[in-house]
Amino acid sequence: MKNSQLYKGSLNTIIMKLLEENGRMYGYEITQKVKLITKGELNITEGALYPALHKLEADGLLDVEVEKVDNRMRKYYKLTESGEKETVNRLNELEEFIKNMQSLVSPSPNPDLQF
């Protein structure tokens, strides 16, 4: 994944957000959707994506449906009820984080603090 250190902590939230918007998705579809949205800037590798999906599933945040598609088994992931609630929490946290980072990286001039 590009800039892995920066993106790593947000991968689960990215996945959950995509599932919230798209209902159910399979692994490859998630990688392509992320690539498309970020115009190729962010490339989620298998080694990052699947462990994250499996962990979210083990934590009860994702549910799984398996279907036979084009001569093979395809595993679709979708948010569980608790996953939906958790997505809202994580997105709020992420937005807060981005806001704080923005304040730190490019602080807007605060007249109260000027001498």
Residues of this chain that bind other proteins (CB under 8 A): 26-28, 45-48, 50-51, 54-55, 58, 64, 66, 69-75
Contact 56, 15 (CB under 8 A): yes
CB 31 → other proteins: shortest distance, Å?
8
Q: In the complex, what is the shortest distance from the CB of residue 86 to other proteins, in angstroms, rounded to a whole number? A: 18
Q: For other proteins, which is the closer residue by CB, 74 or 94?
A: 74
Burial profile 75-108: b = 16 or more Cβ within 10 angstroms, e = fewer: ebbbbbeebeebbeebeeeeeeeeeeeeeeeeee
Least distance in Å: CB of 49 to other proteins?
8
Cα–Cα dist 17/42, whole Å: 15
Give the C-alpha separation, 78 to 76, whole Å: 7
Q: Which is nearer to other proteins, 75 or 99 (CB)?
A: 75
Token pair belonging to 62: 């994702």
Q: Which is nearer to other proteins, 7 or 27 (CB)?
A: 27
**Looking at the chain, which runs of residues are DSSP E strands?**
24-26, 62-69, 72-79
- Shortest CB 69 distance to other proteins, Å: 8
User: Is the CB of 67 or the CB of 96 nearer to other proteins?
Assistant: 67
